[in-house]
Structure 1
Amino acid sequence: MKIGLYFGTFNPIHAGHLIIANHMAEYSGLDQIWLVVTPHNPHKKKSTLLSDHHRLQMVHLAVEDYPKLKPSDIEFRLPQPNYTVNTLAYLQEKFPTHEFSLIMGEDNLNTLHKWKNYEVLLQNHNIYVYPRLDNGTPDDAIAHHPAIHRVGAPVIELSSTFIRQSIKDGKNVRPMLPAKVWEYIEHNLFYKK
């Protein structure tokens, strides 16, 4: 089975995340997309980051009507701070019959050369890249690497930061969130302060 890994804090997961994940599931040749919730780094200031279990719960609520999208808490069980290359090694060992690929925005591709053991990622995994408006220029060797696959997904310029600030400012963000996620945020009074 071909699995695409879509990493994020998902604080909160929003319509843009779902559009990208679903597009990858339907148009890239991947069988499933796992939305990997990144745990809170204990060495970083928490600021507005909700607890791991609340963010994971929102991903569960968001994807329950999408059979090809799966929430994943795999990084919650790995030593922190964690690196993507370690997560992939762990997953490959745990699920030897699966083929794991990364999903990232063009903006992340531009900094891939700064990732720990990025050469190992390129050597062992495909990377599916979706467009961003302000994408800069990736390193030529990476941009044209055979492991890089650009997918003509919709350009989504919606951010969790914008949504959190809008909630704090008392704005109606309901259309930007899956209905059950919006209800969960409202019920728990998240991002109000």
Structure 2
Amino acid sequence: MTGIFGGSFNPIHLGHTGLAQWIVQQGYADEVWLMVSPQNPLKEENSLLPEKQRFSLARTAVRHIAHVKASDFEFHLPRPSYTWQTLQALEEAYPTQEFALIIGADNWLCFDKWKNYKKIVENYKILIYPREGYDITSALPENVTLMNAPLFRFSSTDVRRRLIKGEDVSEMIDRKVHERILSEHLYETYRHNTTKNK
């Protein structure tokens, strides 16, 4: 089974890769694809790196991690891309594979707001990882599993905030990713904009 772990990965950090590794090691999935989400043309975020840069950093982060890979599959789908459509397109492209959706507890608690959420629950396994402050107390459908995964307390938002301030993030992101962010001057534009707007 292939676990689909979607996100903007802006930037990818050790929480993302650590969780993906844990899921494979614990046997919840045979492999995990980190599905980098494309930019939404209807939504602007001034700290969002271009999708190809985010995907390239994700590939760097997983270069030595067995059974975990970065995927740009959604880049080639109509936009905006919804999870249901992505899962359907994956099934069509890889008819012999079984896919499971990996989401955080925060997303599960608002899952009824997702497009075609009932169809996702009916047709796919869902693996939920815990998020601090988001407790799931209600019963779960048979094909939905709350994993007893470790909590990774930092986020991409926190990594970006530190990068923009010029603070150390070496314990939060992969060494090669960190080197690339510095050498390619990524997020510096946002640091200058933030300084200008103060």
Category of TM-score, reference length = shorter chain: over 0.9
Q: How does 1:32-181 map to 2 (within 5 A)?
A: 32-137=31-136, 140=138, 143-181=139-177
Q: Aligned partners of 1:169, 1:28: CA distance in 2, in Å?
A: 39
Which shifted more, 128-137 or 106-115? 128-137
List gaps (5 residues or longer) in structure 1: none
**Alpha-carbon distance in 2 for matches of 1:179, 1:100:** 30
What SS does the aligned partner of 2:102 have?
Answer: strand
Following TM superposition, the consecutive aligned residue runs of length 4 or more in structure 1 with deviations greater than 2 angstroms are: none
AA aligned to 1:168 is I
User: Is the 1:28–1:151 Cα contact (8 Å) retained in structure 2?
Assistant: no
Indicate the SS of the match to 2:121. helix
Two-structure CA RMSD over aligned residues (Å): 1.1
The gaps in structure 2 that reach 5 residues or longer are 192-198
Q: Would you say how many aligned residue pairs link Structure 1 and Structure 2?
A: 189
2-structure distance, mates of 1:149, 1:111? 16
Once the two structures are superposed, residues 56-77 of structure 1 have per-residue CA deviations (whole angstroms, 9 ceiling, x without a partner) of 0011000010121011001000
CA distance in 2, matches of 1:168, 1:71: 25
Superposed CA deviations along residues 158-191 of structure 1, whole A, max 9, x for unmatched, are 1111111111111111111001110110111112
**TM-score, normalised with respect to structure 1:** 0.94
Question: Aligned partners of 1:137, 1:70: CA distance in 2, in Å?
Answer: 29
> What per-residue deviation string (whole Å, max 9, x for no partner) do you get for residues 103-138 of structure 1?
111111101111111111111100011111110447
Q: Is the 8 A contact 1:5 1:33 kept in 2?
A: yes
Tell me, yes or no, if the aligned pair for 1:25 and 1:31 is still in contact at 8 Å.
yes
SS at 1:165 equivalent: helix
Which SS does the other structure have where 1:127 is aligned? strand
Over 3 Å counting, the alpha-carbon distance change for 1:150 and 1:169 in structure 2 is same
Report the Cα offset of residue 93 of structure 1: 0.8
3-state secondary structure, aligned to 1:176 = coil
TM-score by length of structure 2 reads 0.92
Q: Give the superposition deviation at 1:89.
A: 0.4
